[in-house]
Chains A and B, each alone.
Chain A
Amino acid sequence: MRNFFDTLINRQDMIISALLEHIYLSFVAVAIGIAIALPLGIVITRYRRYAEPIIGVTAVFQTIPSLALFGFLVPILGIGSPTALIALIIYALLPILRNTYAGIVGVDGSTIEAGRGMGMTRTQILRQIELPLALPFIMAGIRTATVLTVGIATLATFVGAGGLGDIIYRGLQSYNNALVLAGALPVALLAIGFDQILKWIEKRATPKGLKT
């Protein structure tokens, strides 16, 4: 245990910069994931014929083991953080896409018809009815995506993109258990921390009238 604290203190700079890299990778991946999956999720509710195939494709990506996906991408994109980001984005897409779609499709048809019948435009229905009512689902999807991404980002080290995986990998190579732990513990805390924060936001995002 002492050994572990010594490692923490001695390698402080390295750990912090790896942590920041890790947060950066996860954060950017989730942000881009949202930027793609949210609008796409909305679009496929308007063209439901394409919804199943599109969600299906992202689900297939999801089933590729993460290490294998990194392996596929390297020959195409080379080594570096873009490769890691793209892999992470691919994993972030599905939960956000699926929840956005399910959240909007799940809005009671009679509520939407009331809106239409009262003369709301499609944009007004989307913004004032569908999105607010789907928001808890969408937030839950973002939360899942974030936790997933924080975990998978440990593999970024294999494509030279840094992150806490670096530390774990280094520890493994040098049979230094304390160092492995010094990398793994922050990953776990990061995942739990993000999860809690997003859980709180999710709760706040639930429209007031639905909380009863």
Chain B
Amino acid sequence: MIRFENVTKRFPDGTEALKDISLVLPTHELTAIIGPSGCGKTTLMKMINKLEKPTDGSIYIDEKPINGMDEVQLRRSIGYVIQRIGLFPHMTISDNVALVPKLLEWPKAKKEERVRELLQLVGLDPEIYMDRYPLELSGGQQQRVGVVRALAGDPNIVLMDEPFSALDPISREQLQDELRNLQQTINKTIVFVTHDMDEALKIADSIIVMRDGQVEQTGTPQQLIDDPANEFVRNFIGVERINQKRTFGEKRLMEFLNLFTRDWAGDAENISADSTIEAAFTQLDNSNQDYLAIIEDEKVVAYANDRDLLKAALVKESGVLV
């Protein structure tokens, strides 16, 4: 758990980038930080690996103040994807990915194995890409490398600053899906900065909405949509999206099976594919399971958790989020 306690950041030129911020980023969850440009998202994130230091207040990781920690050691234990990728152009993909393992002095074989494993994870064939240089990769491939480079040292915390911002919508969707799937297996504490509400709704466990150095609202995607704290949050989420959820709540689950989870090994509560999304939300809320098993013709055809349901509620006929 990462905890901010009354953190204020004033830059030497007088800009107050963060104003008395207190918040908690839960362990093993993906928290998205969202807000308009210049609201302090990057600054907030850089506080966690001490690239910026608070003017006031403290930050704790698992209740230990980071104030006293050695910054080099701390950074090696936290994955970091910077805004604008930042791959080292003079190093091969393999050397880029292996950078933190090298700093941590892993043995050579272990480093190489790690590189292969990670490249495969994001669909880059190690045999082809390991010895290439960043400029020989497309933008999307570079961003993938940027993401896995942050995972290389097997950190518990990963900071990602608009990692997909430079991508076309299709690669972007694809990487979002990949990240979501990845998170299901690696289970890190991920802090994900974005200014794209679709992205946040799609991948985050919880969302922090910021404006002008302050937190406007914190909540799950669903809480934000159901109960936006104020006009700013409502506008930021988009009135259209909020209404959409209301009307589409009437639609039936069977129309959205393609959006749902195919396989789920854990427990799930049964629900008929005839039910409305609204009903599914209610049933899931009252259930102590995380997933619903959707039944059609006495067979389970898909699984859905609250995120899947939300996706269904927000999707247009065309299959894209509003």
Interface residues of A (CB under 8 A from B): 108, 110-111, 113-121, 124, 129, 132-133, 207-210, 212
B89 in contact (CB, < 8 A): yes
Chain B residues lying within 8 Å of A207, measured Cβ to Cβ, are: 89-90
B213 at the interface (CB under 8 A from A): no
Contact A117 B75 (CB under 8 A): yes
- Verify B75–A132 contact, CB threshold 8 A: no
Once the chains bind, are B133 and A110 in contact (CB under 8 Å)?
no
Cβ of A120 to closest chain B Cβ, rounded Å: 7
Residues of A contacting B: mostly: helix
Number of A-B contacts (CB under 8 A): 73
A110 touching B103 in the complex, CB below 8 Å, given contacts A118-B75, A119-B76, A133-B90: no
Task: Report the nearest A residue to B77, measured CB to CB.
Answer: A119
B159 contact set on A, CB distance < 8 A: 117
Tell me if B85 counts as interface (CB < 8 A to partner A).
yes
Q: Is the CB of A110 within 8 A of B85?
A: yes
Asked if B75 contacts A119 (CB within 8 A), the reply is yes
Most buried by A among B76, B82, B92, B135: B82
Per-position contact with A for B181-224: 1 when CB-CB < 8 Å, else 0? 00000000000000000000000000000000000000000000
List residues of chain A with CB within 8 A of the CB of B99. Answer: 118, 120
Q: Which residues of B contact A113 (CB under 8 A)?
A: 51, 82, 86
A119 with B135: in contact, given A110-B85, A132-B90, A210-B90 (CB under 8 Å)?
Answer: no
Q: Which residues of A lie under 8 Å from residue B76 when comparing CB positions?
A: 118-119
CA gap between A116 and B91 in the complex, in Å:
16
Name the one of B73, B92, B103 contacting A209, with C-beta atoms under 8 angstroms.
B92
Mark B residues whose CB is within 8 Å of A.
46, 49, 51, 72-77, 80, 82-92, 99-100, 103, 133-136, 149, 159
What residues of A have a CB within 8 angstroms of the CB of B77 in the complex? 119
18 more A-B residue pairs beyond the given contacts A116-B75, A209-B135, with a C-beta to C-beta distance below 8 A = A110-B86, A111-B86, A113-B51, A113-B82, A113-B86, A115-B88, A117-B159, A118-B80, A118-B149, A119-B72, A119-B76, A119-B77, A119-B100, A124-B103, A129-B90, A209-B133, A210-B89, A210-B90
- Show 22 A/B contacts (Cβ-Cβ < 8 Å), sorted by A: A108-B86, A111-B87, A111-B89, A113-B51, A113-B82, A114-B80, A114-B82, A114-B85, A114-B86, A117-B49, A117-B80, A117-B82, A118-B75, A118-B103, A207-B90, A208-B133, A209-B133, A209-B136, A210-B90, A210-B135, A212-B133, A212-B136
- Knowing A111-B86, A118-B99 are in contact, say whether A212-B72 is a contact too (CB < 8 A): no
Cβ distance A208 to chain B, nearest Cβ, rounded Å: 6
Contacts of A209 in B (CB 8 A): 89-92, 133-136
> With the chains together, A108 CA to B84 CA distance in Å?
11
Cβ-closest chain B residue relative to A120: B103
Residues of B within 8 A of A118 (CB): 75-76, 80, 99-100, 103, 149
In the complex, what residues of A have CB within 8 A of residue B149's CB? 118
Residues of B with C-beta under 8 A to A210: 89-90, 133, 135
CA distance A207 to B80 in the complex (A): 25
Residues on the B chain within 8 Å of A124, using CB: 103
Q: Are B88 and A116 in contact (CB under 8 A)?
A: no
Known: A118-B103, A119-B100, A119-B103. A208 touches B82 (CB 8 A): no
